[in-house]
């Protein structure tokens, strides 16, 4: 069975600094996708970034980037130049041939 | 509409009553998920529909919970004889499957259920 583990229930970062959120997963599949979703207090879930497992290059989206280590089954999210609007719950998600699986989330606080 | 629509956005009910929550996915999206989220917590998977395949009901917490989907359109989640522990936000999400769940999940804004 697929599992996704986010070991940091809560994280905090100073505005303009960099923070890394951790995620590990377990799957027997070789072809799969990984995602980070953000859920701000308004509760609307938003896709932040997506990584295809067959691609070695780490995905980036503006200030958001990932460190994808396929052999270690690790998929961390780095947020650079943190902004107050980055405060949210962040969910790591893995999807393959079966339904998508969510981690339990990391609550990120951004301090001014 | 352009996005996933859920109704009602808020529902207050009395313990023991039945409630029905509705989800209108994005047109053309074959995959539809229901999740439950308690305050400040992660997402609890409830049920997954994919096209005409038998739904994955492995997340439904009890037989008081059921869900239906008509083809690739509207889905309803029904909770019978509601209990206080059913109070949560119920989120619906849809995606274009394309053979595996690679597509972006689009979420509705959720239905907040409060059982008194």
Contact B19, B8 (CB under 8 A): no
Tens-digit pLDDT profile for residues A43-79: 788 999 999 888 889 999 999 999 999 999 999 999 9
Please give the pLDDT value at position B99.
Answer: 58
Q: Does the pLDDT value for residue A91 go beyond 90?
A: yes
Tens-digit pLDDT profile for residues B33-42: 999 998 777 8
- Cβ within 8 Å, pair A37-B105: yes
The answer to whether B33 contacts chain A (CB < 8 Å) is yes
Residue B98 is given by DSSP the state T
Residues 40-79, chain B, touching A (beta carbon < 8 A): 40-43, 45, 48, 56
Percentage, residues of chain A above pLDDT 70: 100
- DSSP assignment string, B23-81: EEPPTT--EEEEEEE-TT--EEEEEEEETTSPPB-TT--STTEEEEE-TTS-EEEEE-S
Helix (H, G, I), strand (E, B) or coil at B17: coil
Q: Using an 8 Å CB-CB cutoff, list chain A residues near B102.
A: 33, 52, 95
Residue B103 is given by DSSP the state S
């Amino acid at each position: 069975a697929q599992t996704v583990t986010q070991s940091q229930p809560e994280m905090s970062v100073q505005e303009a600094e960099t923070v890394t959120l951790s995620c590990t997963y377990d799957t027997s599949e070789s072809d799969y996708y990984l995602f980070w979703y953000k859920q701000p207090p308004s509760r609307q879930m938003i896709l932040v970034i997506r990584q295809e497992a067959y691609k070695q290059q780490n995905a980036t989206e503006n200030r958001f980037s990932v460190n994808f280590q396929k052999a270690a089954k690790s998929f961390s999210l780095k947020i650079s130049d943190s902004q107050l609007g980055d405060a949210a719950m962040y969910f790591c998600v893995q999807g393959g041939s079966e339904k998508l699986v969510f981690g339990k989330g990391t609550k990120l606080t951004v301090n001014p | 509409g352009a996005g996933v629509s859920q109704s009602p956005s808020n529902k207050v009910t009395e313990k023991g009553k039945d409630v029905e929550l509705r989800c209108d996915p994005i047109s053309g999206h074959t995959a539809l998920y229901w999740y439950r989220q308690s305050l400040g917590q992660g997402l609890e998977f409830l049920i997954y529909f994919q096209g005409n395949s038998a739904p994955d009901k492995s997340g439904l917490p009890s037989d008081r919970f059921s869900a239906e989907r008509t083809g690739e359109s509207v889905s309803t989640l029904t909770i019978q004889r509601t209990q206080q522990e059913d109070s949560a936000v119920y989120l619906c999400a849809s995606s274009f499957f394309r053979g595996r769940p690679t597509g972006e999940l689009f979420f509705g804004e959720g239905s907040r259920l409060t059982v008194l």
